[in-house]
Structure 1
Amino acid sequence: MAVSFRFLANEVSDLCIGKPALRCLSVSATIGEALSALKVTGETSISVWNCNHSSPNPNSSSSSSCSSSSVKSDFEDEDCCCCCCCVGKVCMVDVVCYLCRDENLEDPASALESPVSAILSKDPRLVRHVDPNSSLLDAIDLIIDGAQNLVVPIRHSFYSSHSRKKLLNKSPFCSTLHNGIEFCWLTQEDIIRFLLNLIGLFSPLPSFSIESLGLIELEVLAIRYHDAAASAIDAISCALTQQTSVAVVDDEGKLIGEISPSTLASCDETVAAAITTLSAGDLMAYIDCGGPPDDLIRVVKKRLKERNLDQMCELLLDELSSCCSYLSSSSSSFSSDDEFSTSTGSTGSTSLMGSTRSGKYSRSSSYLARRAEAIVCDPNSSLVAVMLQALAHRVNYVWVVEKDYSLAGIVTFSDMLKAFQEHLQSML
């Protein structure tokens, strides 16, 4: 009982300490602007907001757009009565899957002019507003119900907010302010990491195997190694919603690798060309963090031309050309700094925001492009071991395999949270 009371004393705000304010995109923006926002900010996803600055009160009909919110749905500014609501999020995988549609492959430039709402998930549970004073147990309930991100307000003083307003809001995607209020969001990973810091409170649960706890999901998204990658587009979209991945297996059902939304998110939009033309196995090599082999790039270009997808081919060539130019100029810059670095003994790292030869663009140091190699455990692995494994690799799931590498299932953060939830409820 003492354990449950100690845990329930934690609030959502306890997990928000040090969290950066959200980078935001207006719901009126285009997909092209969302793409630019992802590249410029280096974020893995961008929150999309609908703000009504003329609503007479937060209970007016205009606030209905926040109906998907949970604990609190609108936030009222003292100086301006209006409603700002996060209506979803977009990431590179959303853009890529949209470009993979037949009609968009023929004219990707026009597709990027479509409104960002065209790639927003229709599932209202994925992004939920919560009050910072909500209990951690409430947050866990929302995630088990399907939430991926919990939007939490960060309140600042009037002076701080007024100063920030002058500095921000210079582009449709960089502003982090909504009526003087900044927001951050919490993810499943944040909560699992927080629980790991309190793992001793849940003993002996963490030492139990994932099989004994019934955490292994048998239904998985999978594709055969030699199948066309394009046949997995729907599965990739589903994996993005579920925050899992698409397993790549051989004819005997043994796990070879994966096509992960996390890996695709580190690519640029031209990976849509690879998904359209390559097999699942070749796509794994194409999106590997080492970059696609030149022979695969030639295969992609050849097959695009065979299908008369000239505009997509042109987009790919333009991106490769800009990548080479960027790397060439960067290489020259680094060479000119070699003498200084040697003489000073400096070993400082340099962050590059831009594309690489592999068609990827770098992000902040907190997010590293992952390989297509799958992260695995066995059915007898303990809950805490699987938690540590997932957190170490920055994924929300771990594949479960037998000794011969036959795919047995998958364990997700959501499954783990259910185990903690049931444990707490049994103690109340």
Structure 2
Amino acid sequence: MAVRFLNEEVSELCLGKPELRCVAATATVAEALTALKTCGETHVSVWICGGDDINGTCLCVGKICAADVILFLCREEHLADPFKAFEAPISDVLPKGSPVVRHLEPNSSLLEAIDYILEGTQNLVIPVQNHHHISNSRKNLLNKQPPFVCTRHNSHEYCWLTQEDIIRFLLNSIRAFSQIATFTINSLNVIDHDIMTVHYNSPASSALDFFHRALTEQTSVAVVDEENRLIGEISPFTLACCDETAAAAIMALSAGELMTYIDCAGPTEDMVQLVKMKLELRNLGGMVELMDDSFHSSVSSSSSCCSSDDEFGSSRNGRLCRTVGSGRHYPARRSEAVVCSPRSSLVAVMIQALAHRVSCVWVVEDDHTLVGTVTFAGILKVFRSVAGGRHNKLEVDS
């Protein structure tokens, strides 16, 4: 039953997907950042259209979020004059190496989609031309869902699928995987012990390589104390809900201070002044100018991160949640880590991750000592292994 389910067409996951905003690959970093702020989404897709190497068609070649821009500004060559970095093409920001975005045909199987993700793909671009791409077994759901509204290129509509979409789809059909759903994450060997940590008092900039890796692998960096107990996390998904001044905070603050700065309630005025003072001591006047420029812009647009207690309400420093020109609110994320036990079941961890909108859940012992993490990719490996029959003989931990 599980194997048949994994052979379902991936287009079924496109039901009700929202429109994906896009920018041209020829855009500058400033233009991409403006697109992010005006569309109210955490990511925009990057497209090349009409090139000879793609036969005059359109191709999605990547995606960009505020975290990409923030880490780009933290490069050594941009610290003295961050404004110059905004003139660079976004191709300089996109990660090199294996593509994080891939096109996939709508009749491809869910198993193929999972295989691409396990190879490093973060998002799948699925063309949807008409409703015939939806199997007959689910056509009755079509009228109950919002219409297909996707990125349009080549006279096609495109759906944008994430790892979270696939995990949610699997959870909704968990009965097909009853042989593994209640197993503990420890018994399934799904805990990843190759984790990235930074000490609470260490400079946040010392973890820049980790931040880049976390963005690529869709995981987070753990902030720990001297006894390796988990205090919190610095997540690229939290950074993606911040503005460009987070780059200045990374270069000025400790890891613990950075957690406070990027927390979704937003930095206090005292924290902002602390960042400026430390930047001036390092002769990074350009970063100070960046903060001043961004502050004036935020006053005119009422832009900031929001409180988790009231996602669309006021933050503790009196400013509203990040609001864009269209009046839409920009969601924010907390730096507080989501944790589970090695004895937690697979389905319980899936529910945690989806409920908190995180792509990794930290595994800790009872004393909060950090053990490892469970990621979406790790969970998908378990479901993928069902097709190979490798979990058929597993026994539940006593």
TM-score range, shorter chain: 0.7 to 0.9
Aligned counterpart in structure 2 of residue 243 of structure 1, from 212, 215, 218: 218
The structure-2 alpha-carbon separation of the partners of 1:279 and 1:357, relative to structure 1 and needing over 3 Å to count, comes to: farther
Cα contact 2:322–2:331 (8 A) shared by 1: no
**Secondary structure of 1:204's match?**
helix
Alignment of 1:103-114 (within 5 A): 103-114=77-88
Cross-structure match for 2:378: 415
Contact 2:40 2:329 in 1 (8 A): no
**Any conservation in 1 of the 2:302–2:320 contact (CA below 8 Å)?**
no
Query: Which of the residues 25, 31, 37 maps onto 1:27?
Result: 25
Q: Is 1:322 paired with 2:321?
A: no
One of 168, 181, 201 as aligned partner of 2:156: 181
- Provide the rounded CA distance (Å) in 1 between the counterparts of 2:328 and 2:163: 20
Helix, strand or coil for the counterpart of 2:389? helix
- Residue 90 in structure 1 maps to residue 67 in structure 2: no
Is the 1:127–1:151 Cα contact (8 Å) retained in structure 2? yes
Q: What code does the residue aligned with 1:22 have?
A: L
Of 323, 340, 351 in structure 2, the residue corresponding to residue 377 of structure 1 is 340
TM-score (normalised: structure 1): 0.80
> Contact 2:70–2:246 at 8 Å: present in 1 too?
yes
Which AA in structure 2 matches 1:376?
Answer: V
CA contact (8 A) 1:229 1:280 kept: yes
In the TM superposition, what whole-angstrom CA distance separates every residue of 1:118-138 from its partner, at most 9, and x where no partner exists?
A: 011113331111000101111
Pair 1:93–1:185, CA change in 2 (3 A): same
Counterpart among 382, 386, 395 of residue 349 in structure 2: 386
How big is the shift at 1:327? 4.0
Offset at 1:350? 11
Aligned AA (1:369)? A
1:305 Cα shift? 1.9
Partner of 1:45: 43
- Hey, what does 1:138 align to over in structure 2? 112
Cα distance change of structure 1 residues 90 and 350 upon mapping to structure 2, 3 Å threshold: closer
In the TM superposition, what is the alpha-carbon distance from 1:252 to its structure 2 partner?
0.8
CA contact (8 A) 1:253 1:407 kept: yes
Task: Give the counterpart letter for 1:361 in structure 2.
Answer: R
Structure-2-length-normalised TM-score: 0.85
Q: Deviations over 1:163-220 (max 9, x none)?
A: xxxxxxxxxxxx9432212222111100000001110111131100000000011110
| Aligned equivalents of 1:30, 1:96: Cα separation in 2 | 14
CA distance in 2, matches of 1:135, 1:385: 26
Deviation, 1:302, is 1.0
**AA at the equivalent of 2:322:** Y
Counterpart CA distance in 1 for 2:318 and 2:59 is 38
CA separation in 2, counterparts of 1:52 and 1:367? 32
Q: Do structure 1's residue 368 and structure 2's residue 336 form an aligned pair? A: no
Deviations 1:4-37 (CA, angstroms, capped at 9, x unpaired): 22x0452111000111232111111111111111
Letter in 2 for 1:250: D
Residue 12 of structure 1: aligned partner: 10
Mapped to 2, the partners of 1:30 and 1:323 lie a distance apart of 21
Matched residue count? 362
Distance 1:278 1:253, change over 3 A: same
Choose 1 or 2 for highest CA Rg.
1
The amino acid of 2:48's aligned partner reads N
Compute the displacement of 1:156 (Å). 6.0
Q: Partner letter of residue 274 of structure 2?
A: V
Q: Could you say what the CA RMSD is over the residues aligned between the two structures, in angstroms?
A: 2.5
Counterpart of 1:169 in structure 2 is: none
Structure 1 residues 9 and 242, CA gap change in structure 2 (3 angstroms): closer
Q: Secondary structure at the match of 1:95?
A: helix
- d(CA) in 2 for partners of 1:112 and 1:359? 26
Question: Which runs of no fewer than 5 residues in structure 1 stay unpaired?
Answer: 56-61, 64-80, 158-174, 329-348
Mapped partners of 1:323, 1:298: distance in 2: 16
Q: Give the letter aligned to residue 128 of structure 1.
A: R
Preserved CA contact (<8 Å) 2:99 2:121: yes
CA contact (8 A) 1:92 1:267 kept: yes
In the alignment, which residue of structure 2 is the partner of 1:294? Answer: 269
Equivalent pair of 1:320/1:359 in contact (CA under 8 Å): no
Contact 2:276 2:288 in 1 (8 A): yes
Q: SS of the counterpart of 2:83?
A: helix
User: Hey, what's the Cα distance between the residues in 1 that align with 2:2 and 2:222?
Assistant: 38
Match of 2:227 among 252, 268, 292: 252
Task: Provide the identity percentage.
Answer: 53
CA contact (8 A) 2:36 2:65 kept: yes
